[in-house]
Chains A and B, each alone.
Chain A
Amino acid sequence: MTQSTTKARRQEGGGPDFKASKSTKYGLDMAFTVLVTGAALVGVVVLVVLLVDVIRDGSTMLSLQFLTSFPSQIFPENGGIYPALIGSLWLLGLTAVISVPLGLGAAVYLEEYAEDTRINRIIEINISNLAGVPSVIYGLLGLGIFVELLAPVTGGTSVLTGALTLSLLILPVIIVATREALRGIPGSIREGGYALGATKWEVIWSHLLPMALPGALTGIILALSRAIGEAAPILVVGVSLYQTYATAGPFDGYMALPTQIYDWISRPQQIFQDSAAAGIVVAMAVLLLANSFAIWLRNRYQQRS
């Protein structure tokens, strides 16, 4: 628009034109607000529909007996998830025992000890890349290393192998969460410790780790709940889809909730589909509980600091 036409417009009285463009502008803004709000709700809506759907499908099978029975091919209506539940608890416990100390250790090293050297930068990039490696690839790693190479140590396709594989899978997540928590601690805490004659490790053990724990714990709980929800890697390292005993030791075979659900889904009969839905309700209940606890913990911690 040249200056003369602007001038001409102004002389005519540019009011209506300006108002019109303003109202379309505000109209567009309104529409955009509705659009982004709608988009933000899509996830929540899907989550709710999904929960309602599985609760409806699973209600026929869901009972206390479902939790305490073995799955059954002959009388599927009396079957349950007992061995899968026990197996998942074993996986959870062993994975926590293996991955938490290793993850905390790596995070403490990278945050408190490591200098900015080439190798440490490589470790850093490497960890962020490991976090993006597909879980099924970790399964192949577990198959090559824990199932075959280290069979005398791990007992082959044992629950220990499953836990080791899942530990490698979630280590990057634990390391990242713990590092973030450590980074949030002011340097004055460390200096105060050193001024009193504490060694580096004494400062870390008595001050830094306890202070970082709530933040790290949130990441750890989310990572562990992701681990026990994983089906692909443990399918590759030989989880049982059926066994007649509940896991009683780290070298035993094991079943697990997500793979039990998968096994039921892949059978065509309606009764197995219902069993799968009931299993999903149990898994989702455990998951929601764990996630709520983690989020509550983080909110409490964030309010304090």
Chain B
Amino acid sequence: MAIRAEGTTRSGADAWKRNSRTREARERVIKVFLTACAYLSIFTTFGIVIVLFEETSRFFLEVSPVEFLTSTRWAPPQGDFGVLPLVYGTLMATIIAIVVALPIGLLTAIYLSEYAPHGLRRWLKPALEILAGVPTVVYGYFALTFITPLFRDSLFSDIESFNAISAGLIMGVMIIPTVASVSEDAIYAVPLSLREGAYALGATRRETATKIVVPAALSGIVAAVILGISRAIGETMIVTIAMGAQANWLGSPLEGMQAMTAYIVQVVGGETPRGSITYESIFAVGSALFLMTLVLNLASYWFVRRYRESY
């Protein structure tokens, strides 16, 4: 009996040891896999940088960077590669979009956090999320077939079929949810005591919202706007569909023009042979686009950190 018990214990201990060794091995394998998943994001960034850099450097063997960055003529078939007209198209649409999205997004955020009754808030936030999830080809269709004819019949009879103002306007609607939700996070983070202090001094609801809460949340709101600008710059299908495919340096908002993103889609849609200068040019334009959004994203990250730290 005693001997048997001893035997059981010994084999039990062995089994336990074996078991714990396989468990440890499994833990290690899993940790390696999970670490690899996290490092994939680093590889993605490297991948983007390497791919863009490689093709762009080939592009710059044939076109001088000075011409690319300073010339105002963009006509790839004629060998004119000044990127400024495309940048102009992108910025025109972006500015119009921000003029729409900044006030509406900010006021929406104020409404959601300071005014909205609980029941309505529960409906409005999902509606905004749906607005953010609408495929951009749908917005493009809407701008082209609804907004532009609307403008033509009412305000601007000489508007072109492809134009910056309709595309920019709808792009503004597209980024309202971004501006609103990031601003609301910041406004929500303002401590209740600040509001109570304002009310105690006799401030009304509006005064509290505009003179206390919004200034206190300012760095978060700046982050929201920067993020909105970055979205607008990178947006592709709305400007491809509704703003046109003709580079237009210093054109009016009622005219068609080409954005940087739209140029990339135009080239990949055509039969452009790999390795040709036109093919390489989309990577050069892509690099410029990547750098612009990178700077904006980092700036926005910095501003968000700032308000997180202050409360």
Contact count A vs B, C-beta below 8 Å: 269
Q: Does B185 contact A (CB under 8 A)?
A: no
Q: B129 contacts A291, CB within 8 Å?
A: yes
Cα A225 to Cα B79 in complex, Å, equals 40
Q: B265 near A291 (CB under 8 angstroms)?
A: no
Contact assessment for A125 and B301 in the assembled complex, using a CB-CB cutoff below 8 Å: yes
Report chain B residues within 8 Å CB of A50. 134, 138, 142, 146
The 8 Å CB contact of A236, one of B127, B137, B144, B268, is B268
Contact A40 B241 (CB under 8 A): no
Residue of chain B at shortest CB distance from A283: B135
**A168 interfacial by beta-carbon distance below 8 Å:** yes
In the complex, B230 has a CB within 8 A of chain A:
yes
In the complex where A26-B204, A266-B241, A295-B129 touch, is A136 in contact with B286 (Cβ < 8 A)?
Answer: yes
Q: Which residues of the other chain, A, contact B116 by a CB distance below 8 angstroms?
A: 40
**Also in contact, A33 and B115, with CB within 8 A (given A130-B45, A226-B133, A258-B135):** yes
Structural contact, A232 and B124, CB atoms closer than 8 A: no
Given A36-B108, A140-B286, 18 more A-B residue pairs with CB atoms under 8 Å apart are A36-B111, A40-B124, A43-B108, A43-B177, A53-B146, A101-B37, A105-B37, A106-B41, A122-B42, A132-B227, A132-B231, A136-B286, A144-B47, A231-B236, A261-B135, A261-B138, A262-B137, A288-B130
Complex interface residues of chain A between 105 and 120 (CB less than 8 A to chain B): 105-106, 108-110, 113-114, 120
The answer for the CA separation of A196 and B297 in the assembled complex, in Å, is 44
- Known contacts A26-B204, A39-B107, A123-B39; decide if A145 and B131 are in contact (CB<8 Å): no
Interface membership of A287, Cβ < 8 A:
yes
A136-B41 in contact (CB<8A)? no
The 6 residue pairs across chains A and B that have the minimum distance between CB atoms = A134-B234, A105-B37, A229-B135, A144-B51, A39-B107, A232-B236
Contact partner, B206, options A32, A102, A114, Cβ 8 Å: A32
Q: Is B83 an interface residue (CB 8 A)?
A: no
Roughly how many angstroms separate A246 CA and B195 CA in the complex, as a whole number? 60
**Residue pair B129, A133 in contact (C-beta under 8 Å):** no
- Asked whether A291 lies within 8 Å of B126 as measured between CB atoms, the reply is yes
Contact of B63 with A by CB under 8 A: no
A-side contacts of B39, CB under 8 Å: 123
Shortest distance from the beta carbon of A32 to any chain B beta carbon, whole Å: 4
* B23-47 Cβ-contact flags toward A at 8 Å (1 or 0): 1101100110111111111101101
Once bound together, how far apart are the Cα atoms of A128 and B301, in whole Å? 8
Q: For the complex, is A57 an interface residue (Cβ under 8 Å from B)?
A: yes
A261 to B144, CA, bound (A): 13
* Pairwise interchain contact B34-A46, C-beta atoms closer than 8 A: no
User: In whole angstroms, how far apart are the Cα atoms of A94 and B126 in the complex?
Assistant: 27
- CB-CB nearest in chain B for A288: B130
Check if B141 sits within 8 Å of A129, measured CB to CB: no
- Give CA–CA (A110, B146) in the complex, Å: 46
Which residues of chain A are within 8 angstroms of B48 by Cβ–Cβ distance? 133, 137-138, 140-141
Q: What are 14 A-B residue pairs whose CB atoms fall within 8 Å in the complex? A: A25-B204, A36-B115, A42-B108, A44-B124, A57-B145, A123-B41, A133-B234, A140-B286, A144-B50, A229-B133, A231-B137, A231-B237, A261-B141, A262-B241
Provide the residues of chain B in CB contact with A101, threshold 8 Å. 37
Chain B min CB distance to A267 (Å): 12
- In angstroms, Cα B241 to Cα A276, docked, is 12
- Bound-state CA distance A32–B235 (Å) is 32
| Residues of A contacting B274 in the complex (Cβ-Cβ under 8 angstroms) | 148
- Knowing A231-B135, A291-B129, the reply to whether A137 touches B265 (Cβ < 8 A) is no
Stretch at the interface among B1-9, B248-256, B288-296: B288-296
Q: Are B265 and A129 in contact (CB under 8 A)?
A: no
Residues of B within 8 A of A62 (CB): none
Q: What is the total number of residues of chain B having a CB less than 8 Å from a CB of chain A?
A: 93
Confirm or deny: A191 has a beta carbon within 8 angstroms of a beta carbon on chain B: no
Name B251-310 residues within 8 Å CB distance of A: 261, 264-265, 268-269, 274, 282-283, 286, 289-290, 293-294, 296-298, 300-301
* Chain A residue contacts of B108, Cβ below 8 A: 36, 39-40, 42-43
Q: What residues of B have a CB within 8 angstroms of the CB of A189 in the complex?
A: none
- Residue of A231, A238, A277, A287 most packed against chain B (CB within 10 A): A231
Complex: chain A residue closest to B138, CB-CB: A280
Residues on A with beta carbons closer than 8 Å to the beta carbon of B230: 132
A63 located at the interface, meaning its Cβ lies under 8 Å from any Cβ of chain B in the complex: no
A132 and B301 CA atoms in complex are apart in Å by 10
Whole-angstrom CA separation of A145 from B52 in the bound complex: 11
A106 touches B133 (CB 8 A): no
Contact of B34 among A53, A57, A113, A284 (CB under 8 A): A113
A148 to B54, CA, bound (A): 13
